[in-house]
């Protein structure tokens, strides 16, 4: 029996056959969440997995960046394909590709020699690129939201996808820590046949593949095709480089978009080298790093979901962006040196270096949450009322490019200069952000807000 209509289309009909808009958005939220959960599981795995095949920190950083590169390329392709063939087929295609990619991750060590590669690192790069190309389905998911929501509710629908992204990044590393723990590995070695490789790298990979396969079945069974496709939503992705260039030259939002790029570049540099740092200096593996990453992710989610709103009401986006940038400038530079602070005690089994790292990561996560939300809001405030979708697209494109070049540059610094250099440079990048934000006067922000 069809649900009562809840304003599914401007014509008064349901946005999809037999389903109301709330149910459609809830289904899409679950699908995107499970998709990002699979991605999040691999976050604490990839750097050390690459090192297990003999890669240094720079090559491992290139492996991290490969996903964002192929995602940037794949998003407009999948977006245009969804315009031509439909949203549902493209989402199913992308989920199928992700299942293959995460499975290849798990068998990289065995498959590498079989295909003539020197080791499994070649397989990891191929799988990472495939996963990134399939991860470009965010353009299709955004287009699906546009299909089933009227323009006045579109920002709320896109916010639902943003929440799914955040939760995937929080719970993904936690699951990786669970399935790569010594207890889990011992249990799985006794349970699974010997032909299945079980290690701290393969079990998270297979877990991501299984979750994505379940997501594929869910999408196949319950996700329908919208009645009509909104025009010009996915195809605009193809001109992102031109849009970014034009935005940077714009006197209204050029400084803000450049600030968002630099902030994303700096934090992606921190994320990509964080696991190398803890592995080299503390001897941490996948499970321990998963705990730290989960802690940081929870802090960011709490600040974004519960604190940014009240703080914005009291202080405004402009001040919060400045505070967030200043906090990150200091804390990012302190991260590598905090591991050897003699004045921080150990807490039970947790050594002093990990305690100090958690202490520094707390204000760092707070500053990151403030900066991301405030810069997004400032870009939106300085865009016209009919340009909000384009404004959000600009920040997403800037972040995607930053996540491509940031890890690669940081890995080069880690190898060629010193272990502390990418973190210090990342902190220093927030100094020009503070200068750029100074060009956005309070009067301009107040005027555009009114």
pLDDT in tens, 201-254: 999 999 999 999 999 999 899 888 877 655 544 444 446 667 667 666 666 677
Q: Which residue has the tokens 């807490």?
A: 347
Question: To the nearest whole number, what is the mean pLDDT of the chain?
Answer: 82
- Would residue 431 be called left, alpha or beta, if left means φ above 0 and alpha means ψ between -120 and 50 degrees? alpha
Look at residue 309 in the predicted model and tell me its pLDDT: 80
Lowest-confidence region among 226-240, 261-275, 307-321: 226-240
SS3 347: strand
pLDDT in tens, 34-87: 888 888 899 999 999 999 988 999 999 999 999 989 988 887 788 778 878 888
Of 347, 351, 353, the residue nearest 335 (C-alpha): 353
Residues contacting residue 114 through CB under 8 Å, at least 6 positions apart:
none
Of 239, 233, 234, 257, the residue nearest 376 (C-alpha): 257
**Residue spans of alpha helices (H) in 283-429:** 286-302, 308-315, 317-338, 352-381, 388-416, 421-428
SS3 230: coil
Cross-strand pairs, 347: 350
Q: Which tokens sit at 179?
A: 């399935």
Question: What is the CA angle 83-88-93, rounded to 5?
Answer: 95
pLDDT band of residue 130 (cuts 50, 70, 90) is: very high
Cα 324 to the center of its chain, rounded Å? 19
Phi, psi (5° rounding) for residue 9?
Answer: -155, 165
Question: What is the CA angle 301-212-59, rounded to 5?
Answer: 75
Residues contacting residue 138 through CB under 8 Å, at least 6 positions apart:
71, 75, 161, 396
Does the structure show a pLDDT above 80 at 389?
no
Look at residue 257 in the predicted model and tell me its pLDDT: 83
Cα 398 to the center of its chain, rounded Å? 13
Return the H-helix or E-strand segment holding 236: none
């Amino acid at each position: 029996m069809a649900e009562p209509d809840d304003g599914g289309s401007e014509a008064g009909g349901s946005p999809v056959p037999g389903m109301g808009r709330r149910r459609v958005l809830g289904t899409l939220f679950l699908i995107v969440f499970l998709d990002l959960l699979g991605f999040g599981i691999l976050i604490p795995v990839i750097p050390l997995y690459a090192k297990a095949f003999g890669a240094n920190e720079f090559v491992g950083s290139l492996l991290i960046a490969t996903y964002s590169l192929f995602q940037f390329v794949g998003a407009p392709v999948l977006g245009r394909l969804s315009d031509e063939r439909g949203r549902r087929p493209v989402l199913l295609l992308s989920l199928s590709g992700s299942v293959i990619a995460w499975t290849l991750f798990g068998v990289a060590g065995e498959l590498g020699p079989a295909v003539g590669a020197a080791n499994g690192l070649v397989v990891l790069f191929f799988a990472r690129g495939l996963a990134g190309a399939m991860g470009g389905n965010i353009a299709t998911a955004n287009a699906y939201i546009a299909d089933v929501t009227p323009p006045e509710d579109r920002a709320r629908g896109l916010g639902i996808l943003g929440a799914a992204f955040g939760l995937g990044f929080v719970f993904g590393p936690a699951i990786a820590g669970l399935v790569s723990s010594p207890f889990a590995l011992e249990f799985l070695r006794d349970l699974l046949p010997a032909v299945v490789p079980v290690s701290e790298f393969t079990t998270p990979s297979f877990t991501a593949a299984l979750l994505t396969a379940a997501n594929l079945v869910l999408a196949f069974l319950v996700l329908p095709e919208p009645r009509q496709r909104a025009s010009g939503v996915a195809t605009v992705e193809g001109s992102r480089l031109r849009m970014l260039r034009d935005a940077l030259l714009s006197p209204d939002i050029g400084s803000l978009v450049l600030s968002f790029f630099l902030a994303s570049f700096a934090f992606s540099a921190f994320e990509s080298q964080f696991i190398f740092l803890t592995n080299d200096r503390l001897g941490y593996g996948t499970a321990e790093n998963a705990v730290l990453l989960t802690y940081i992710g929870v802090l960011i989610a709490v600040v974004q979901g519960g604190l940014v709103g009240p703080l914005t009401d009291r202080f405004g986006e402009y001040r919060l962006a400045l505070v967030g940038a200043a906090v990150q400038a200091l804390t990012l530079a302190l991260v590598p040196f905090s591991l050897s602070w003699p004045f921080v005690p150990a807490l039970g089994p947790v050594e002093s270096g990990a305690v100090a790292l958690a202490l520094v990561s707390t204000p760092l996560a707070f500053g990151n949450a403030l900066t991301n939300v405030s810069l997004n809001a400032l870009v939106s405030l300085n865009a016209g009322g009919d340009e909000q979708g384009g404004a959000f697209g600009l920040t997403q494109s800037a972040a995607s490019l930053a996540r491509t070049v940031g890890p690669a540059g940081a890995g080069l610094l880690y190898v060629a200069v010193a272990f502390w250099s990418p973190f210090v440079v990342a902190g220093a990048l927030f100094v020009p952000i503070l200068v750029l934000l100074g060009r956005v006067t309070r009067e301009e922000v107040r005027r555009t807000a009114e």
